[in-house]
Structure 1
Amino acid sequence: MDLTGSAALVTGAASGLGAATAAALAARGATVYGLDLEKAIEAAGDQLDGVTLLAADVTHEAPVREALARIDADGAQLRVAVNCAGIAPSARILGRKGAHDLDLFRTVIDVNLIGTFNVMRLAAEAIAQHEPDDNGQRGLIVNTASIAAFEGQVGQIAYAASKAGVAGMTITAARDLAQYGIRVVTIAPGIVDTPMMAGFGDEVKAGLAASVTFPQRLADPTEYARLVTMVAEHDYLNGETIRMDGALRMSAR
């Protein structure tokens, strides 16, 4: 797929994986629209040159439709959608304060899984309206899971469940959307040095880096972004969940 002149939608675009991906797609010639919560966009300021940031909660239909309508009104053709929005609170099934809070579990599923599905279904509807290329391809959707989908650690029950759901949607989504020429690929990152890691000290980060098989370091968000652009340009990748983790297999703790 040639990204030049195409429109791309990236969720969670104000920071972390989303910001890096939005910048990488813009550098490849795409017209990029980024979705994030209003407070996240305010915090980002003017850091993302060439990216139009739009306030939207991915768990709701109306703001996502409004963003897609904006892309259409600008005369751009949506070809790529990348779901990076997500949250990762930690809580055990049974902790010192009792059973896992049910509302917290619902919130994580709502943002990470339902939010991803919401954007995927609406983006697919928009992409399907455009003419295919010479190979019958109309576009690509990239979702973000996590290696926690396969080896969730203590305290990751909600996060692991939500990301396992994202990984589980991949092949079915690819099969559902094949008739429209839309590919679906999921990336499952390992430990990435994003703002989510900001609360950890250098000693904790060093310990996490040492647990990676090779290279023994945290991944950089730009490496995720580079993988997104590679997937976009590799038309035979479809229905696959790609681990980006330095061969890390998470231990229980």
Structure 2
Amino acid sequence: MLMKKIKTVPTSVYQLVQDTRFRRILWQFTFALIIIFIISAAYGNVIDSLTTRGMLPSFRFLKLSAGIDIGEQLIEFNNASTNARALLVGFLNTISISFLAIIFSTIIGLMVALCRLSTNWLINRIAWIYIEIIRNIPLLMLLLIWYRAFFLKMPGIKQAVILGGTTSAEGIVQANVIVSNRGLAILWPLPTGSYAVYRWVLTAGLLVFVAGLIYFAIRTKRTGKKQMGFTWSLLAFIAIAVVGWLCLESAPFTLDRPTI
């Protein structure tokens, strides 16, 4: 006859202390109290320190002037802008960099995969080296290697490598390319007032480009003959962009030269 083991309920303090279930719950409760005490003490110290320095813990700092400059920006920003706008600029920069990284990483990954499947020994080995060595090294280690072996060896801003530079009477140097340990600065187009109209021209050209691809794809399917759809669609886009540029009263872009 099978006997079931029935757990009895503790009836005294001694039995309660000896109960493994109670001790397990007690230790968890004690640990939770210790964590809550540490967090509350740290929070109190932070609040006291901020109050002493006149920095109240609130979101009012978002309306204060940032007082910093951001080199790369998709929207207008200067050091007099608010911290909230600085956060928005950083968010937009992150989104744009992520978007470009996804596109280029996809292209590079596809190219490396095709090279790895190539029957050419040299191309196949180069792809193998990239995959097995570079791709299998942790990203943090790669960043440290590039930083120490490349960026620290770059010339300082006063000894920067300047390409296509001109110096003004005040000693300000404007160039097409400036290379230093602060980074790479290149000639970059900036939109002007007429860009608001020109972007609609580019949008129309893009629609024509897509419509051309669809049209030639359908025509290829019907006739069975390969059409130069991409070439003609691209030429149509370029023609619309050039004609739209020439029809504007002023150029939609101006070239911004880096200065030191």
- Flag whether TM exceeds 0.5 (same fold): no
Whose strand fraction is larger, Structure 1's or Structure 2's?
1
Name which one, 1 or 2, has greater alpha-carbon Rg: 2
TM-score by length of 1: 0.21
TM-score by length of 2: 0.21
